[in-house]
Each structure stands twice: as C-alpha cells, then as structure tokens.
Amino acid sequence: MLIDLKSNPFYLSDKDVEWVESTLASMSQQEKIAQLFCLITYTDDENYLSYLAKDLGVGGVMTRTMSLPELIRTVTGLQKNARIPMLISANLEAGLNQACTEGTRVGCEMGIAATDDEKYAHELGRIIGEEASALGINWAFAPIIDIDYNFRNPITNTRTFGSDPDRVARFGKAYVEEVQKYGIAASIKHFPGDGVDERDQHLLASVNSLSAEEWEKTYGKAYKTSIDAGAKTVMVGHILQPAWSKKLNPSLKDEEIMPGLIAPELLQGLLRGRLGFNGLIVTDSSTMAGMGTMMPREKAVPMTIAAGCDMFLFTKNLEEDLRFMKQGVESGVITKDRLDEAVTRILALKASLRLHEKQQNGELIPDAARAEKIVGCAEHKQVSKEVADRSITLVKEEKGVLPITPERYKRVLVYKKEGKASAVSAGITEGAADKLIDKLKAKGFDITVFVPGGGWEGMATPVQEFYDKYDLILYIANLATKSNQTVVRLEWAEPMGADVPVYMHSIPTVFVSLENPYHLLDVPRVRTFINTYGSTEEILDALVEKLSGQSKFCGKSPVDAFCGKWDTRL
C-alpha cells in the first residue's frame, strides 16, 4: 500500500501519520467497513444520529437543508457519539443555503462565472468556508468542474462555471483554494465529467463521448488544475468515458465499459495515475440509477471500493448495502490491502482537516452563538448582492425597448412560466415570478397576468384587443434543471399555444429567464432576452434596477445562450 500521506493533498506531519496508522491498527474489520460509508440525514433526532455515529460507526454523514439550530444539534449529535471523528458534508455549490436555511446563497456557479471576475469564485469559497466551519461542516461536495458543452443536459446547466474549459479550470481552482483555508475539504466533481451527454446520470449511466485527446485538454485540464491546487477529494459519477477506458485497457469490449465509480482503469489509471491524484475518492450518490443499470447491486456495491473508490455515498437500503459491502470483503472482491488503503485515505483526510486534534480539544462541537454571528451575516449578503448585480446578462436587446418605466410602459401583460424546486436546484425560489410582479407594481406599473381563455379556430381574442390594452409584454421564466426531469423546455398553454410570444412585432416584448440560460431555443424571435442565473431576492432587486435603467447590465454569458442556432440571433 503506497500512499504518500505527507504530500499533496494531505500534508500530514509525523504525528498525524502516527494517528492514522495507530487508529487503523486499532480497528476491527467491521469498523473499517463502516468507515467506507458516508450516509445522509434529514433529521436531528438524537437516537438516529447516535445510531449512525456510535452503533454503526460510519465514516461520514451528509446533511440536507436544515435550520441553524437543527444543524448544530445534528453535528453535535454525530461528533459527540463518534469514536473516530466524522466527516460532515453538504452540497455547497452556490452557498451555505444548501445546508442551512439561514445560510448565504452567494450565487450559482454560472452566475459567479457571468461576473467574469475570478474574485467572486474566491468569495464563494471564502463565504462557504466561513459559514460551514462555524457550523461544524468539514466537507463540501463542490465545486462542480463539469463543462456545460451540451445545452440539452438536464443537470449541469447553471450548476457549472460554463462551457469554457479555461474558465472552469480557473474558477474551480479559486473555489478549492479558498474553501480549504477554513478546514473544509473540497470535492471536485463529477469525474470523468458531465455536460457532454444530454441524458441524466441520475437515471442511467451517461457518457462523456470526447476523444482521449479532447478530454485531456478540457476535463483533464480542469481536474489537473484543482488537483495540483490541493483538492482533497474527488467525487466520481455514473458517467462513462469510453475513449480513456479503451486507451487504458484495449481489451475491453463495449459492453464491458463501466461508469467512473466502478471503472478501475479510470480510477487507478487515469485519476490516480495520469492526473496524479493522491487524495480521497468518493462515489456520487449510490441511490442514483446509473450504477444499477450496469450490474446487480450486490456486485456493484463492493465493486466501487475494489475498483478504487475510498468512500461509498448513501445507500438504497442501509442494512442490505452494509451486508453487500461486508460480503465483498469476505469473498475477496475487496482485498485486505484495498480495504486498508481506502480506510487509510479516509483517516488521512480527517487528519488533514485536524479533526483528530479538534476531537481531543473538544472543538468539534459548533458554538451556536458564534455561528449565529457568521452564518448569513450582512457582509456575506453584500457579496451576494454584488454577484447579482454583476452577473445578470442582457443576451439580446431590441433597440429602444429598454429601459422599462411606468412613464413609457404603464400597462404590462405578464406571462409566467414556472416550475418547482428540488434538492438539486436548491437556489430556485418558488413563486419568484409573483415576487417580481410585486416589485414592478411597487414601481407603479399596472400588471395583468395572462390567463388562457377558451376559443379555438375562429373564436380567439382579436389581436387588436392586445394592442389596445398593453404597452409591454413581459415573460418571466422560472424553470430550473433538476434530477429525474430529463427535459427542461418551455411548454405552452392551450388552446393552440395561447401564450407563445406572437405579439412581439407590434408590442415591445422582454423575456427574462431566472434559472435556465437556454430558453432562446424555444423563443428564438424574441428580441430582448435576459438571463439572471437565479431567483433570489437579491437577484430580483438587481433585475428591477436594470430593467428600469437604474443600473447597467454587466454580466457576460459563460455559455452560448443562442444554443448554436442561427435564428436565435435574429
């Protein structure tokens, strides 16, 4: 077992190495198996937390969004019951709001990229680092360094830094460097890279279809940049990379090519070998269907560790997956050396975060009073406002339509296109269209919200009635990508697409997309189009200022908002 615990990314001292080695030597086989698991909790129930930390002795737990008091109780309940200090993780892509309701949402990664200023990637990492560490969280499942090449991809979208590999590499590195200053391990994801396929790796094993050479210049560059910058962990997805799998193992048949988390040639040959990653490898959620579509679960569970992952994220059925992993060890699918290597890296990560020292010094339990001062503080919220101001992008403008003021356009017809939030799209604000409408009303506009009427051929409302009633038409789209929703497109009302933009040639029309930067695909002839990359209060306020001419549009699109189509540019 060759792991250099004193080099990147662990940088352990002799004393730290001694703790890792002595802890490993003290562990039973069952304790080692339990350390492989990073589970999840939606609750601060003390009995459940004690079961995870003390009875099972798992290596880590991810928290879903809770209130600040609930989160502190959760971290406290886990760490006080754990013999070996625990990794406490969260999806911290856009801000601490993805773990704590009081946390700051700085801005989604695409919004950060749209500022065109690397400073805000550092600020994202800093604010997450300050707030997470105050709450006892020590592992960020971020940044996403996927590249949003395919506008049809239902998952990457605004969660990425865009489609430029150089920007993705630079901004990803900035996040990693900053967040890890606060004792928070970054996890660059989703190796070998999402954003090429248009399918959802939550539902199947998707494919990164780039050639080995193209991959190395793009995704490889992004991963190598963050790895060299000291990223402590890598999250591996349910994503195939056939070119590299076959290059590293030419004997593989097509049906034998596996997604990253169960592909030894990608984990050991590409990630560890060619990219030189020495840190901890964690699977993406094992509850996703991608792994299950490739092989039986009883085989896949231990195969993740045997192939080269060090931690197994979540379970479909806790007792069953624990049994599958144990059977893998007992049958030799996971060798003793491979088990010890994985656990060594888990312990080394914990030591690199000083968790063993914090446990000894009684510092693992968060201080509620301190956390309340830091989480969601005014200084952090101000950065969120700056990001909103500098990211909102005027993609396309019809000359003379802006600014929008009550003096120019008193009577406004609004078309709302809204979806619902999910765990993946944690930044989306349900009802954001209504909030924006209220802000416009407060400015003095007379707002009418469109309601489809009856009447088919020969019975529709006369177009002249629209011309006579309204000075401006405003579309507000609030449709975010999310798992288990394979297509995010504008859908139109009956009868006969009643809310399609057909009056834009006669009535000034503005289309605002709050969440998805690619809606021009479905409204190509709209002449004024705006992307905001989010729907928070800060973003909505900044949007109103820009619409009314009180501030300038500063954002630069990190992706091709025209979706590669000629007619979207008309």
Among all residues, which ones are annotated catalytic?
A: 284
Alpha-carbon distance of 165 to 99, in angstroms, equals 28
Beta-carbon contacts of 355 under 8 Å, excluding residues fewer than 6 positions away, are: 85, 86, 87, 138, 364
Alpha-carbon distance of 96 to 533, in angstroms, equals 17
CA 477 to the chain's CA centroid? 21
Q: Mapped to the 3 state alphabet, what secondary structure does 239-276 carry? A: EECHHHHHHHCCCCCHHHCCCHHHCHHHHHHHHHHHCC
CA 121 to the chain's CA centroid? 14
Helices (H), 428-567: 432-442, 463-469, 537-547
* DSSP reduced 3-state for 44: coil
Alpha-carbon distance of 107 to 453, in angstroms, equals 38
User: Is 412 in contact with 376 (CB distance < 8 Å)?
Assistant: no
Alpha-carbon distance of 429 to 300, in angstroms, equals 37
CA 405 to the chain's CA centroid? 36
Angle (deg, nearest 10), helices 378-391 and 119-135: 150
